[in-house]
């Protein structure tokens, strides 16, 4: 910062001389008009928020954020005085105007230097250095806020001229302008800049509307909001720009890796596939998802939302933040704010369109064995060990004496089953938004359409969304409004069995016969012209065409509210928040030879209705001396109703899918109904206090009563303190822009493990019981098993220490959080004595801890007039540990549960090698044979036992996660990329279970892996071919030579007693380049001719690179079964456009 601030012992005259010389030099170099480059930095949007901050600090902050230099005299602006200045997400030109009003000064711009100078009196303000045209007419008027009150200090600029002025204390103005001026631009801190045409009467009445973009700098903390800079708890936020930039149709996928401490991973590659999420580790032995709140409505997930319809997602992580949700908050809270109507006032209408089209291509195809390699593996699976040697007693079954298969092996002409069952996928998303304001009414309408065509044939997703919100402000004392969010999704999942089997089919088998017809069973003797069946499995392409699953989901979220404001600072808001969800699943599989002899149909209808009534009384008061208080009293009533009916049928007379189930034979085991109701009544209070924006105190108490429990009521308190250290005199350092320390402690609960009637004994409705009443036989239900009526919520205590920091004029900022969570009273099944008559009963007898660190860092690496480069870093590390089980600090190896270890572990033998033929005698001492896995004797007792020699090999939960996002802007171009990583992940892999060493099926395709081959056994010699009587090529036999006894994996069908699932275990850590984006925004001059305010065209590539040692499809969903969504990953190529009118 160039400020003329000399040492105190310098004379005032000398200081003024130097200041004057500096100003003269600047004026001499100032052009007569702003160039385009100056206009660019004036149009950039930044956020500034200071409470009782020094003017000097405010200017330093603006220099770092906007890339400018201020030149001023400290006496002019009183650099050490403190001001409150809050302008979130505002154009820099408007910030300058607001600052000049606040300081009662004017300014000049020269390049990227801003000169602060005394404000001229009784003269139109000229801020661009341009000459003023002749004055021909005088315009007067008044500018009002949303309440009809005059706004003082509103900046008024005559369009097409350099003439401007400001409103007086009553919001009035009077200005003489050239005759050719036809409109004014009105701008004010926190309000939407507005252009107003001059009327014939030369009298204007202007109503300015609040700028709703300021919401992006406000965090929702449950039943209220708070500015980020005033947070006392740990909350992560992701705004609309970051959400939509990811180019995904999933809301959770859009925020993956964006918030420290939030682990989000994909669990399916299919259209509409979901994501799993954990916030600061797993708190319960039964798992547990966070609480989702969408516009105040509690939901079970947010998969139905269109990401373009989301304004912001706030994630409450520590108990101080989640305690306001009491018994439902221990797994964290995800609060979604969709785009709603802004506050009434002013007159504006804005239309936006966001859309993209994508192509999705298969990627990361594993290295499968080719035909000859696979036959070698199949041959090895027929080796048998007897009398101290391996041999191949049966050769015929290997190829079933098939000349057709031998010809394919000779020609190396194999079927690409994956290609036959897949295609290029497509994805598109379209969103149209219309919002507007009038004096008393504001509204927002969003229409969305999403379409995904998966890479597997016949799978797709179509989702339609409508969002409408409106708010009416009847007076300054009363307002009302509401919103409705409706979604219809149709997800065709195709034939999951067909997708699974197309990956299981060996590539030496053909799909079509010589006439181009699909072969019903490609592996039977007739199809391969052999002496026996190679495999009797049906053609998976027939399965794909004969089977389908369709899921139709309807979601409606509503809200109606009324708010009264009796006087300044006091408000009462009552909200009715219904949510309705209906889901219908239909499944049909036709007759397929070799698989089903009769068709099968299934239909399930599920309906959820949830209703919330919230009442919030809020009082805000600023007292003399810098004391500020905010108190909220909350009443919330929540009720749910769930019902389901489902039925299945076989042997239907014709293909009617799932619409005519009763025409077939009902399957009783799959036909049933269900119903439940629950209710939760809550009272809560929260108080916030701060002193001059330096010291902060927050206290929360929630009292919940649940219909699920006998002991219904429980209190969940929390408290938090924060200290803005940078405001203390001892912390005054030029490099330190802001520093705040936070500490919080709180309690929250989890009732996910308790069913609606979990504390009540209910009838056993699974089967009928016959009773004799006075000779009459009647049917009924027997009493259900006894339950523990004393069970209660799982409860989590959390302690959080945090630091928020900004350095070097806010060019470096971030947060550090340390947390310690203890979840107690975890629900487990307690074994009972035989005298009780009940083998077990659920009880609160477990505890788990989570301790970790979270780091976030944002840097502005480089900022010049035309170039900007910024980077975001996120790092999280969590240590999950079981503290007690069944009320004791004792391991339970049979359940793979261990004190001091994570909930999820892989517990098995540690293998050290494979027995070789030369070690046959030693192997026999251990009861083993050559080719089998060697297990490590952990306790050295000379024998291998499950109780003593199994160990923890790893955990599927990551040791740490992180992400790096880099954003580069050069003039109108923007470029960004994002890396995401999960490290320390060790899984029981479902891919290797199907296609790796863990699967010993001789007919299943395999990836190339290092498997055991004994020496000196028969093996095909692919370099030597013979001919049969018909002159066709025939494979000849050779020998395995020295074999492969130093292999990593044992003999496939003689792996030994200790191999277990070791063939499936693998490291699934990865680093992914999640997306690369390149965009171009058209210049403002071009947009003016097109009557647009923004037009951006961009290209995006999703998941182009994955760096991992993992051998399967995608390490991110390594634990997902093949029929549940595992399969080839893909790369998405996107082109899109963002338009604003």
Band the pLDDT of 196: cuts 50, 70, 90.
confident
Among 267-281, 595-609, 763-777, 1017-1031, the minimum mean pLDDT is found in 763-777
Q: Is the model's pLDDT at 1096 over the cut of 80?
A: yes
Instruction: Annotate 118-170 with DSSP letters as a single string.
Output: EPPSSS----S-PPP----EEEEEEEE-TTSPBPTT-EEEETTSS-EEE--TT
Structure confidence at residue 13 (pLDDT):
36
Band the pLDDT of 22: cuts 50, 70, 90.
very low
| Distance, CA of 603 to CA of 312 (rounded, Å) | 37
Residue 195 CB neighbours (<10 A): 11
Residue 368 CB neighbours (<10 A): 15
Q: Is the model's pLDDT at 465 over the cut of 90?
A: yes
Q: Percent of the chain having pLDDT more than 90?
A: 46
Summary mean pLDDT of the chain: 85
The pTM (predicted TM-score) of the whole model is 0.78
| Mean pLDDT, residues 950-964 | 95
Band the pLDDT of 122: cuts 50, 70, 90.
very low
Residue 35 CB neighbours (<10 A): 9
| Mean pLDDT, residues 82-107 | 81
Tokens 């706030």 found at: 314
Residue 675 corresponds to which tokens in the numbers above? Answer: 């119903």
Q: Is the model's pLDDT at 1029 over the cut of 70?
A: yes
- In order of 222, 716, 752, the CA distances from 688 in angstroms are 13, 17, 30
| Mean pLDDT, residues 567-590 | 93
Band the pLDDT of 98: cuts 50, 70, 90.
confident
Do residues 800 and 261 lie in contact, with contact meaning Cβ atoms separated by under 8 Å?
Answer: no
Structure confidence at residue 808 (pLDDT):
85
Q: How far is CA 221 from the centre of its chain?
A: 18
Band the pLDDT of 344: cuts 50, 70, 90.
low
| pLDDT single digits (tens) 751-790 | 777 888 888 878 877 777 887 778 888 888 877 777 888 8
| Distance, CA of 873 to CA of 978 (rounded, Å) | 10
- In order of 925, 926, 935, 937, 1057, the CA distances from 942 in angstroms are 10, 8, 11, 7, 16
Structure confidence at residue 871 (pLDDT):
94
Which residues contact residue 333 at a Cβ distance below 8 angstroms, ignoring those fewer than 6 apart? 222, 290, 291, 292, 293, 315, 316, 321, 322, 325
For 501, the 3-state DSSP assignment is helix
Tokens 């290092």 found at: 1010
| Distance, CA of 747 to CA of 717 (rounded, Å) | 6
Structure confidence at residue 855 (pLDDT):
96
What does the CA dihedral 539, 541, 543, 547 come to, rounded to 10 degrees? -170
Q: Is the model's pLDDT at 379 over the cut of 90?
A: yes
E strand or H helix at 262:
strand 262-266
Band the pLDDT of 7: cuts 50, 70, 90.
very low
| Distance, CA of 1121 to CA of 1123 (rounded, Å) | 6
Band the pLDDT of 10: cuts 50, 70, 90.
very low
| Distance, CA of 616 to CA of 181 (rounded, Å) | 49
| pLDDT single digits (tens) 353-364 | 999 999 999 988
Q: Specify the higher pLDDT residue, 402 or 116.
A: 402
Q: Percent of the chain having pLDDT more than 70?
A: 92
Where exactly are the structural domains of the chain? 1-119, 120-208, 228-338, 369-416+994-1060
Nearest to 343 by CA among 471, 215, 189: 471
Would 1-119 and 228-338 be classified into the same CATH topology?
Answer: no
| pLDDT single digits (tens) 1063-1091 | 899 999 999 999 999 999 988 788 878 88
| Distance, CA of 257 to CA of 786 (rounded, Å) | 45
| Mean pLDDT, residues 465-482 | 92
- Helix H, strand E, coil C: the string for 1048-1069 is CECCCCCCCCCCCCHHHEEECC
Q: Is the model's pLDDT at 213 over the cut of 50?
A: no
Q: Is the model's pLDDT at 8 over the cut of 60?
A: no
Give the single-character DSSP code of 1131: E
Based on the number of CB atoms within 10 Å of its own CB, is 637 exposed (0-12), middle (13-18) or buried (19 or more)? middle
Structure confidence at residue 508 (pLDDT):
93
Bridge partner list, 933: 914
User: Which CATH superfamily includes the segment(s) 228-338?
Assistant: TonB-dependent receptor, plug domain (2.170.130.10)
| Distance, CA of 114 to CA of 97 (rounded, Å) | 12
Q: Is the model's pLDDT at 560 over the cut of 70?
A: yes
Q: Is the model's pLDDT at 827 over the cut of 80?
A: yes
Structure confidence at residue 912 (pLDDT):
94
Band the pLDDT of 39: cuts 50, 70, 90.
low
Tokens 């702003």 found at: 34
Residue 786 corresponds to which tokens in the numbers above? Answer: 């006894």
Band the pLDDT of 40: cuts 50, 70, 90.
low
Architecture of domain 120-208: Sandwich (2.60)
Torsions phi, psi for 731 (to 5 deg): -100, 10
Written out in words, the top-level CATH class of the domain with range 1-119 is alpha beta
Give the single-character DSSP code of 152: T
| Distance, CA of 1035 to CA of 376 (rounded, Å) | 12
Do residues 950 and 898 lie in contact, with contact meaning Cβ atoms separated by under 8 Å?
Answer: no
E strand or H helix at 278:
strand 275-279
E strand or H helix at 1085:
helix 1084-1089
Tokens 């044979």 found at: 929
| pLDDT single digits (tens) 130-148 | 333 444 788 899 998 766 7
Nearest to 118 by CA among 61, 62, 78: 78
Structure confidence at residue 347 (pLDDT):
60
Q: How far is CA 108 from the centre of its chain?
A: 45
Residue 295 CB neighbours (<10 A): 22
Which sign, positive or negative, has the C-alpha torsion 221, 225, 231, 232?
negative
Bridge partner list, 742: 722, 802
Based on the number of CB atoms within 10 Å of its own CB, is 690 exposed (0-12), middle (13-18) or buried (19 or more)? buried
| Distance, CA of 275 to CA of 256 (rounded, Å) | 9
């Amino acid at each position: 910062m160039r400020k003329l601030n000399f040492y105190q012992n310098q004379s005032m005259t000398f200081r003024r001389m130097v200041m004057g010389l500096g100003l003269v030099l600047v004026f001499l170099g100032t052009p007569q008009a702003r160039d385009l480059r100056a206009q660019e930095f004036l149009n950039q949007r930044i956020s500034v928020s200071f409470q009782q901050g020094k003017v000097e600090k405010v200017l330093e902050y603006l220099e770092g954020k906007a890339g400018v230099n201020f030149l001023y005299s400290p006496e002019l602006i009183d650099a050490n005085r403190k001001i409150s200045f809050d302008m979130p997400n505002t154009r820099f030109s408007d910030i300058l105007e607001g600052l000049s009003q606040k300081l009662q000064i004017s300014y000049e711009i020269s390049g990227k230097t801003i000169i602060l100078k005394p404000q001229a009196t009784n003269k139109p303000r000229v801020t661009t250095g341009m000459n003023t045209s002749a004055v021909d007419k005088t315009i007067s008027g008044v500018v009002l806020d949303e309440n009809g009150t005059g706004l003082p200090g509103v900046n008024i600029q005559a369009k097409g001229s350099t003439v401007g002025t400001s409103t007086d204390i009553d919001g009035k103005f009077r200005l003489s302008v050239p005759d050719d001026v036809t409109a004014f631009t009105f701008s004010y801190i926190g309000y939407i800049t507005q252009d107003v045409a001059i009327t014939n009467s030369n009298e204007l009445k202007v109503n300015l509307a609040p700028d709703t973009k300021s919401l992006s700098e406000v965090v929702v903390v449950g039943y209220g909001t708070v500015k980020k800079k005033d947070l006392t708890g740990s909350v992560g936020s992701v705004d609309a720009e970051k959400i939509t930039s990811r180019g995904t149709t999933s809301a959770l996928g859009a925020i993956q890796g964006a918030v420290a401490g939030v682990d989000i991973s994909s669990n399916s590659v299919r259209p509409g596939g979901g994501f799993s999420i954990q916030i600061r580790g797993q708190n319960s032995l039964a798992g547990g998802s966070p609480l989702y709140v969408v516009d105040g409505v509690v939901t079970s997930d947010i998969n139905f939302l269109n990401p373009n319809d989301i304004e912001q997602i706030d994630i409450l992580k520590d108990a101080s933040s989640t305690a306001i949700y009491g018994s439902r908050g221990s797994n964290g809270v995800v609060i979604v704010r969709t785009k709603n109507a802004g506050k009434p006032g002013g007159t504006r209408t804005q239309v936006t369109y966001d859309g993209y089209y994508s192509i999705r291509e298969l990627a990361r195809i594993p290295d499968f064995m080719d035909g000859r390699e696979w036959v070698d593996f199949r041959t090895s699976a027929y080796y048998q060990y007897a009398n101290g040697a391996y041999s191949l007693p049966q050769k015929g079954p290997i190829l079933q004496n098939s000349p057709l298969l031998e010809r394919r092996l000779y020609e190396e002409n194999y079927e690409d089953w994956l290609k036959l069952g897949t295609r290029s996928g497509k994805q598109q998303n379209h969103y149209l938004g219309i919002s507007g304001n009038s004096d008393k009414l504001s509204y927002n309408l969003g229409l969305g359409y999403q379409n995904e065509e998966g890479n597997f044939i016949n799978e797709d997703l179509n989702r339609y969304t409508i969002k409408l919100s409106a708010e009416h402000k009847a007076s300054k004392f009363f307002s009302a409004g509401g919103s409705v969010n409706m979604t219809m999704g149709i997800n065709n999942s195709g034939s999951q069995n067909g997708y699974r089997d197309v990956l299981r089919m060996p590539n030496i088998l053909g799909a079509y016969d010589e006439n181009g017809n699909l072969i019903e069973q490609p592996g039977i003797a007739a199809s391969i012209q052999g002496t026996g069946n190679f495999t009797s499995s049906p053609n998976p392409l027939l399965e794909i065409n004969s089977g389908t699953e369709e899921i139709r989901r309807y979601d409606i979220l509503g809200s109606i509210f009324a708010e009264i404001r009796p006087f300044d600072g006091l408000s009462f808001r009552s909200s009715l928040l219904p949510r309705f969800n209906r889901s219908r699943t239909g499944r049909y599989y036709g007759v397929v030879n070799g698989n089903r002899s009769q068709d099968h149909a299934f239909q399930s209808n599920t309906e959820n209705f949830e209703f919330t009534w919230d009442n919030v009384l809020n009082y805000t008061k600023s007292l003399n001396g810098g004391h500020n208080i905010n108190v909220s009293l909350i009443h919330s009533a929540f009720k749910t109703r769930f019902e389901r009916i489902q039925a299945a049928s076989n042997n239907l007379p014709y293909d009617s899918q799932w619409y005519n189930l009763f025409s077939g034979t009902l399957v009783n085991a799959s036909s049933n109904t269900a119903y439940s109701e629950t209710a939760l009544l809550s009272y809560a209070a929260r108080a916030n206090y701060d002193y001059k924006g330096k010291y902060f105190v927050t206290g929360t108490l929630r009292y919940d009563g649940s219909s699920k429990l006998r002991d219904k009521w429980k209190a969940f308190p929390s408290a938090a303190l924060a200290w803005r250290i940078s405001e203390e005199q001892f912390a005054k350092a030029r490099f330190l822009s802001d520093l705040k320390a936070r500490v919080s402690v709180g309690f929250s609960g989890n009732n996910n493990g308790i069913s609606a009637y979990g504390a009540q004994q209910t009838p056993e409705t699974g089967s009928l019981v016959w009773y004799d009443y006075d000779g009459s036989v009647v049917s009924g239900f027997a009493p259900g098993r006894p339950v523990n009526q004393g069970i209660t919520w799982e409860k989590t205590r959390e302690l959080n220490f945090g630091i928020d920091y900004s350095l070097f004029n806010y060019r470096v900022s971030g947060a550090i959080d340390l947390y310690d969570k203890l979840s107690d009273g975890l629900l487990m099944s307690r074994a009972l004595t035989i005298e009780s008559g009940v083998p077990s009963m659920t009880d609160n007898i477990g505890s788990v801890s989570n301790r970790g660190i979270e780091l976030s860092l944002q840097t502005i690496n480089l900022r010049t007039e035309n170039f900007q480069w910024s980077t975001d870093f996120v790092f999280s590390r969590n240590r999950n540990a079981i503290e007690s089980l069944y009320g004791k600090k004792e391991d339970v190896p049979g359940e793979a549960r261990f004190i001091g270890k994570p909930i999820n572990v892989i517990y098995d033998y540690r293998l050290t090698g494979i027995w070789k033929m030369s070690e046959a005698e030693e192997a026999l001492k251990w009861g083993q044979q050559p080719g089998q896995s060697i297990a490590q004797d952990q306790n050295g007792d000379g024998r291998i036992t499950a109780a003593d020699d199994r160990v923890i090999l790893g955990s599927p939960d990551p040791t740490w996660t992180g992400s790096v996002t880099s954003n580069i802007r050069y003039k109108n171009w923007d470029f960004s990329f994002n890396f995401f990583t999960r490290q320390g992940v060790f899984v029981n892999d479902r891919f290797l279970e199907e296609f790796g060493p863990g699967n010993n099926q001789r007919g299943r395709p395999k990836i190339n892996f290092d498997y055991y081959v004994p020496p000196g056994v028969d093996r095909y010699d692919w370099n030597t071919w013979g001919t049969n009587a018909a002159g066709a090529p025939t494979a000849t036999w050779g020998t395995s030579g020295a074999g492969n006894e130093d292999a990593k994996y044992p003999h496939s069908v003689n792996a030994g007693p200790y191999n277990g699932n070791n063939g499936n275990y693998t490291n699934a850590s990865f680093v992914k380049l999640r997306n690369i984006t390149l965009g171009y925004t058209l210049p403002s001059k071009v947009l003016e001719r097109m009557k647009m305010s923004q037009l951006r065209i961009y290209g995006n590539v999703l998941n182009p690179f994955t760096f991992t040692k993992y051998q399967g499809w995608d390490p991110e969903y390594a634990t997902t079964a093949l029929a549940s969504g595992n399969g080839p990953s893909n790369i998405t190529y996107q082109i899109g456009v963002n338009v604003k009118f």
